[in-house]
Structure 1
Amino acid sequence: MTEYQFYALITVILFFKMFAISAVQALARIGANTFVTPEDARFFGASIAPDELPIVKRAAMAWRNDLENIPIFLFLAMIYVTLGLSPRGAYIYFSLFAGARILHTVMYLNGLQPWRTIFFTFGAVACFAIAIQILTVVL
């Protein structure tokens, strides 16, 4: 598998990871028959809830954290591949980032500290390593 193909695979894995967060929210709402938006409550024949379920709130926070981290990784990783940097590095950095984000989400959904922060840090370190590799080539 080329680095570009591996980049594509990691991108798809991260897509499914984020989709899973949406599924957690939807399944929690449907399972509890609890909806805060009137149109959803009407559609599912439920009364309007005053607030989201705790797991839905936690999943929303994990989703926002992904939105702060995954896009910059995708840009850095694309630049890394485009510049033709070390294929071995791509496999290591990209795997580390994706694994860290998946585990970060699991820890976030389950409220497990310090593991959530540890896995966040692993992902951030992978991004910093990619950025440093890019800088060594372009400067």
Structure 2
Amino acid sequence: MVSIDLSNPAVQSYILYSGILGLKLLSVTVLTTRVRMAKKVFANEEDAKKTKGKVKYDDPDVERVRRAHLNDLENIPAFWVLGALYLTTSPAAAWATLLFRVYTVGRVLHTIVYAVKPLPQPARGIAFGIPYLITLYMGVKVVMHYISAL
């Protein structure tokens, strides 16, 4: 049976960066609200009436932030699952910390270059691709570790 030691620096690093990513997810929700309020564009009639705005489902600025949020919702939970499973393979603490840190920085940069200050490609592709490859790497390491244990 695998045991996770909370005093392990890799585990502490995972917890720290997972917390940062959770806060990041919440902050994109606030960013969406901020853009909606600034443009007075809402998805619900009651919100539009309250703010003297309008109901609109295709505002490009709101949709850009929503797509960035959806991208987070598609990718960060996979990091949480695969990162936790990766810890069960007893990775070197420095390497695991580097992976978790680079993943987190990449996801934050992805939101910045996609939704906050849009930059031309390949900025968003790089900010998406590196964290994606890290998650893929961790998943492969988990599978390889446990295949060899069978």
Question: Normalised by the size of structure 2, how large is the TM-score?
Answer: 0.82
Map residues 1-139 of structure 1 onto 2, 5 A cutoff. 2-44=9-51, 46-109=52-115, 110-138=118-146, 139=148
Q: CA deviation at 1:75?
A: 0.7
Q: CA deviation at 1:30?
A: 1.5
**Structure 1: distance between partners of 2:41 and 2:144:** 52
Deviations along 1:12-41, one digit per CA (max 9) or x if unpaired, are 111121122111111112222332311211
**Structure 2: distance between partners of 1:34 and 1:95:** 36
Q: Letter of the 1:7 partner, please give it.
A: Y
Distance 1:128 1:47, change over 3 A: closer
Q: CA deviation at 1:68?
A: 1.6
How many residues align? The count is 138
Q: Letter of the 1:113 partner, please give it.
A: Q
Deviations along 1:25-81, one digit per CA (max 9) or x if unpaired, are 11112222332311211333x143333432210011111111221111111110112
Q: Letter of the 1:124 partner, please give it.
A: Y
Give aligned-pair identity as a percent.
28
Question: Normalised by the size of structure 1, how large is the TM-score?
Answer: 0.87
Q: CA deviation at 1:126?
A: 1.0
Q: Letter of the 2:125 partner, please give it.
A: T
SS in 1 for 2:124: helix
In the alignment, is the contact (CA less than 8 A) between 2:32 and 2:65 conserved in 1? yes
In the alignment, is the contact (CA less than 8 A) between 1:80 and 1:134 conserved in 2? yes
CA RMSD of aligned residues (A): 1.8
Structure 1 regions of 5+ residues with no counterpart?
A: none
**Structure 2: distance between partners of 1:7 and 1:94:** 6
